[in-house]
A and B are shown apart, each in its own frame.
Chain A
C-alpha cells in the first residue's frame, strides 16, 4: 500500500468515525431522554438537537480556528531564510516529494526537541519545529522529523484527529449533563421508572466518555505509526527519523507550552513517559517507533 491510498483511507475513516460516534450519541440521547422524560419523545428530541447544535459549533470553531489557536498557544513564530535556511529548504523539498503545497513554516521557542503539524487540509497546513530540534538534530534527523510531520499533513490526520476530539468531547458533555441531572433534581420524575434502566444509564454515563477517550488515543497512536511510515516513504531515510527519536529519548526535556490539550499535535509526546501517561498517551512508546522504523 502506498501513501496516496493512506489519505483516501483516512478520509473514509473520518466518515466512519462520525457514523459510529453518532450511534453512541443517539444511544446516549435515547437512554437519557427515556430516564428524564419517562419516554417522552419531545424531551428525547430536545436532547438530540441540543447535542447536535453543540457538536456543529464545536466542529466549525476547531475546524477553522484550531490551527491558529495551536500556533498561538505554543508561541510559534514564522521561520526566516537567514536563520533557518536548511529547515525551510527541507520543508519545501518534502512538500515537493509529497506533491502538496508548501505548508506555512514556523519555529517554536523551546529548547526541547519536538515538532507539530496543524491545519484542516494540505492547502491550509502549518508545520512547526522547536528551536531545540533545529539546534540539536543533524540534517538527516531534522529532515526525518519534517518528513513525519509532512506525513500527517498528506494523510489528512489533522482533520481526522479534530473530528475525533470533537466527538469524544461531545460524549463527555452528554454524560456530564446526565450525571449532573441525577444529582440535582430529576429524581422526582422517575419514581415509576424501571431501576434497571436507571443503572444502565448510570453505567453508560460513566463508561462512555472513558471508552471514547481510549478510542481517541488509540486512533492517535495509530496515526503516529502511519506518519512515521509515510515520512519514511517521502524522505527515503527512516534511519534519520529513528535517530531523531533516539535523541529525543536521551534529551527527555518536556516541551513547555504543551499541555494535555495540545499533546496529540506533537511529533513526540511532549509530556514525560510513565505508566499513567503511556496508558492514556496520544503517542506510542518511543522504543516501539524506533524498532518499526529500523525494520523498514
Chain B
C-alpha cells in the first residue's frame, strides 16, 4: 500500500477514535450531573418528610411559638413548589434558616431538649442538611468538570457538534464551604 495513504488512514482513524472517546466522556459527565441532581432531590424530599414530625414534637412542649411553626411550614411548602434550579436553591436556604430559628427556640425548653424523639429528629435533620450540602458540592463539582470539558479545545469541537451545552451551577447565598487546594504528588 502507498505509505502516504497509510498515514492518512491512520490519522483519520485516530481522529475518529478521539471523537468517540470525547463523546463518551461527555455522556458520562452529563450522567454524573443528573445523578448528583437526583441525589439533591432525594435529600430535599427527606428533609421535607421529617419536618411535620419535628413540628409535632416541638408543639408538644412549646405550643405558643406559633410564628416559628408558620415560617417553617411556609418555607417547606415553598421548597416543594419550586421547580427551577435557582428557585430551589433560594427556597432551600430559606428553609435552612427557619429551621435554625426553630432549633434556637427549642433551646429554651429543657424538657424538649431531653426528649428522645426530638434528639433523634435533630440528628436526622442536621444529617440531612449536611447531605444536601454534600450533594450540592458533588453537583457543582460535576458541573464544573463538564463545563470545563465543553470549553477546552479540542473537546469544545465535539461538544459543539453534539450539543453538549453548559450547565448551571447550584448557587447558594450562605457562605460556601471553601474548596480546598490540594496538590497530588
Contacts and interface: CB of A to CB of B under 8 A. Distances in A.
Contact of A86 (B123, B142, B177): B123
B135 interface: yes
B134 A93 contact: yes
A174 to B, nearest CB: 32
Interface string A219-236: 000100110011011001
**Most chain B C-beta atoms within 10 Å of own C-beta, residue among A4, A88, A225, A236:** A236
Contact of A296 (B135, B141, B142, B182): B182
Nearest to B182: A229
Interface in B63-109: none
Contacts of B35: 99
Q: Which of under 10, 10 to 19, 20 to 34, or 35 or more describes the interface residues of A?
A: 20 to 34
B127 A93 contact: yes
Contacts of B180: 232-233, 236, 238, 296
B32 interface: yes
A94 B145 CA distance: 19
Contacts of A96: 39, 43, 131, 134-135, 138
B13 to A, nearest CB: 23
A97 interface: yes
A99 B138 CA distance: 7
A94 B123 contact: no
B179 A89 contact: no
A102 to B, nearest CB: 11
Q: Which of under 10, 10 to 19, 20 to 34, or 35 or more describes the interface residues of B?
A: 20 to 34
B132 to A, nearest CB: 9
A85 interface: yes
B177 A1 contact: no
B19 to A, nearest CB: 20
A92 to B, nearest CB: 6
Contacts of B185: 222, 225
A2 interface: yes
A6 interface: yes
A2 B182 CA distance: 8
Given A225-B185, A229-B183, A296-B180, A97 B138 contact: yes
Contact of A232 (B43, B133, B182): B182
B143 interface: no
Q: Which 7 A-B pairs have the closest CB atoms?
A: A89-B127, A97-B134, A236-B177, A229-B182, A93-B131, A93-B134, A96-B134
Interface of A: 1-2, 4, 6, 85-86, 88-90, 92-94, 96-99, 222, 225-226, 229-230, 232-233, 236-238, 296
12 contacts: A2-B141, A89-B127, A90-B127, A93-B130, A93-B131, A96-B43, A96-B135, A96-B138, A98-B138, A99-B142, A236-B180, A296-B181
